[in-house]
């Protein structure tokens, strides 16, 4: 290696070290500031890691609704969905100190964790006997609603439940959460092309299954 | 999409099926061509209406509101994790006491203990083995030893004489 190259390598190492120090200093400074509702997720995570419980409250209020909706639509069981939402947030708290700002989007990471927890529970359900599968909580809870509305919702849920897990998850990400293809692909762990294919197949299957009930569903 | 960036009706239908009835929710690079085709084609408008109907059916399923109990549980978890982290920082793990060499080699948990036991067995085996072999194969070994002793003594005397008188005396 030439002297020039060695000088340049040493220079880049110094720059890396300086950059790392500055980043650590910035994180430490961020962690000291009080959490506010306007703070971004990375800042709030750093603040929580620094011991600020109000940051945890803001993050929870910001994200738990979507995580719970995802789990509810995937599992169709409110109690199980709540367990998944709680476990997802617990993993976020446990990983807060190791969180690297800018490396990944916090909400994407959170949904990835939640989706994997849902997949685990769906796999366990498949392996357990039919008698052990709990009656869906949502349907019981909605018994107080009008019969017609309940019937329509049950039709939709039944149709969704027949879809393969990944098609269901792709529809959840794109339709219900309005996420882009790139983010959906990252959460599902597939390519962007695969996302489009999952969406097409899933929505086509849903359309075909619900074709007979369209008038009832849309009150046409 | 065709080579000149024109969207065909088949592309439009596929996109409507995959991404739903709102063109502004489709991939950014396809939106302009889709809007153009929507304005020009009755088939495109029909495909979009079909996709919108499916969107409306899906919208029937609203996500639940998180309960107060769930929020409390999540925040209690956050407090627990913070407390654990604080406790770790406040009380560093005790430094293990370093054992002396006797303890390390011969103590109850010594790593070398089985090895030492094996080596001791080997050494004992060698000593016993060679002694048994010697006495078993040479029953008159005591006599032979005495004879070798006499010869050794004779040579030693000869050497001494060489030193005192010179080799010529014996010749």
The domain total for chain B is 2
A89-121 tens-digit pLDDT: 999 999 999 999 888 899 999 999 999 999 999
Domain that holds residue B16: 9-58
The pLDDT confidence band at residue B160, using thresholds 50, 70 and 90, is low
Nearest CA in chain A to B67: A82
Domain that holds residue A161: 145-211
Residue A196 pLDDT exceeds 90: yes
Chain-chain contact of A207 with B66 (C-beta, under 8 angstroms): no
Average pLDDT over residues B41-45: 96
Residue A173's pLDDT is: 94
**B67 Cβ under 8 Å from any chain A Cβ:** yes
CATH number for the domain including A153? 1.10.10.10
∠ CA B133-B137-B142, rounded to 5°: 95
**B61 Cβ under 8 Å from any chain A Cβ:** yes
- On whether residue A203 sits in a domain, the answer given is yes
Chain-chain contact of B67 with A82 (C-beta, under 8 angstroms): yes
- On whether residue A113 sits in a domain, the answer given is no
Nearest CB to B60; choose among A66, A97, A156: A156
Task: Report the distance separating Cα A80 and Cα A136, nearest Å.
Answer: 10
**Measured between beta carbons, which residues in chain A are less than 8 angstroms from residue B52?**
none
Nearest CA in chain A to B82: A51
- On whether residue A159 sits in a domain, the answer given is yes
**B18 Cβ under 8 Å from any chain A Cβ:** yes
Nearest CA in chain A to B60: A153
User: Which residues contact residue B38 at a Cβ distance below 8 angstroms, ignoring those fewer than 6 apart?
Assistant: B12, B23, B44, B45, B48
Average pLDDT over residues A18-38: 67
B89-128 tens-digit pLDDT: 776 666 666 666 666 666 656 666 677 778 877 888 887 7
Residue A85 pLDDT exceeds 50: yes
- On whether residue A44 sits in a domain, the answer given is no
Q: How many residues does chain A have?
A: 220
- Alpha helix segments (H runs only) across B59-112: 68-90, 101-106
Q: Is the ipTM of this complex over 0.90?
A: no
- On whether residue B150 sits in a domain, the answer given is yes
- On whether residue A23 sits in a domain, the answer given is no
CA distance to partner chain B, nearest, from residue A95 (Å): 10
Token duo for residue B41: 């084609």
Nearest CA in chain B to A49: B82
- On whether residue B82 sits in a domain, the answer given is no
Residue A19's pLDDT is: 61
The domain total for chain A is 1
pLDDT cut 70: percent of chain B above it: 58
pLDDT cut 90: percent of chain A above it: 60
- On whether residue B96 sits in a domain, the answer given is no
The pLDDT confidence band at residue A53, using thresholds 50, 70 and 90, is very high
Average pLDDT over residues A164-173: 95
- On whether residue A171 sits in a domain, the answer given is yes
């Amino acid at each position: 290696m030439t002297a020039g190259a060695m000088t340049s390598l040493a220079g880049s190492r110094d720059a890396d070290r300086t950059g790392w120090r500055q980043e650590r200093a910035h994180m430490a400074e961020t962690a000291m500031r009080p959490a506010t509702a306007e703070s971004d997720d990375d800042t709030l995570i750093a603040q929580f890691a620094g011991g600020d419980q109000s940051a945890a409250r803001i993050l929870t209020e910001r994200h738990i609704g979507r995580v719970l909706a995802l789990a509810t639509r995937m599992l169709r069981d409110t109690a199980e969905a709540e367990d998944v939402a709680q476990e997802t947030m617990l993993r976020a708290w446990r990983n807060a100190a190791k969180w690297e700002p800018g490396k990944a989007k916090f909400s994407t990471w959170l949904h990835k964790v939640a989706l994997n927890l849902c997949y685990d529970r769906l796999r366990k359900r498949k392996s357990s006997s039919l008698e052990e599968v709990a009656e869906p909580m949502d349907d019981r809870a909605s018994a107080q609603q009008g019969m017609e509305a309940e019937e329509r919702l049950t039709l939709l849920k039944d149709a969704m439940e027949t879809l393969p897990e990944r098609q269901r998850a792709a529809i959840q990400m794109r339709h219900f959460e309005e996420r882009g293809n790139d983010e959906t692909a990252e959460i599902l762990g597939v390519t962007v092309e695969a996302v489009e294919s999952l969406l097409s197949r899933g929505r086509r299957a849903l359309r075909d299954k619900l074709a007979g009930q369209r008038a009832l569903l849309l009150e046409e | 999409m065709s080579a000149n960036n024109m969207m065909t009706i088949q592309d439009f239908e596929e996109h409507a099926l995959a991404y739903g009835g709102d063109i502004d929710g489709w991939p950014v690079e396809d939106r302009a061509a889709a809007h153009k085709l929507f304005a020009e084609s009755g088939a495109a408008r029909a495909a979009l209406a079909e996709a919108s109907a499916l969107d409306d059916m899906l919208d029937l399923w609203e996500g639940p509101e998180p309960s107060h109990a769930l929020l409390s549980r999540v925040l209690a978890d956050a407090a627990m994790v913070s407390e654990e982290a604080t406790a770790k920082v406040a009380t560093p793990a005790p430094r293990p006491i370093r054992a002396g060499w006797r303890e390390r080699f011969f103590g109850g948990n010594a790593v070398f203990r089985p090895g030492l036991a094996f080596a001791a067995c080997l050494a004992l085996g060698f000593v016993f083995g060679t002694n048994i072999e010697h006495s078993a194969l040479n029953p008159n070994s005591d006599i032979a030893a005495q004879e070798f002793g006499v010869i050794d003594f004779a040579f030693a005397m000869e050497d001494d004489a060489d030193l005192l008188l010179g080799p010529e005396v014996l010749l």
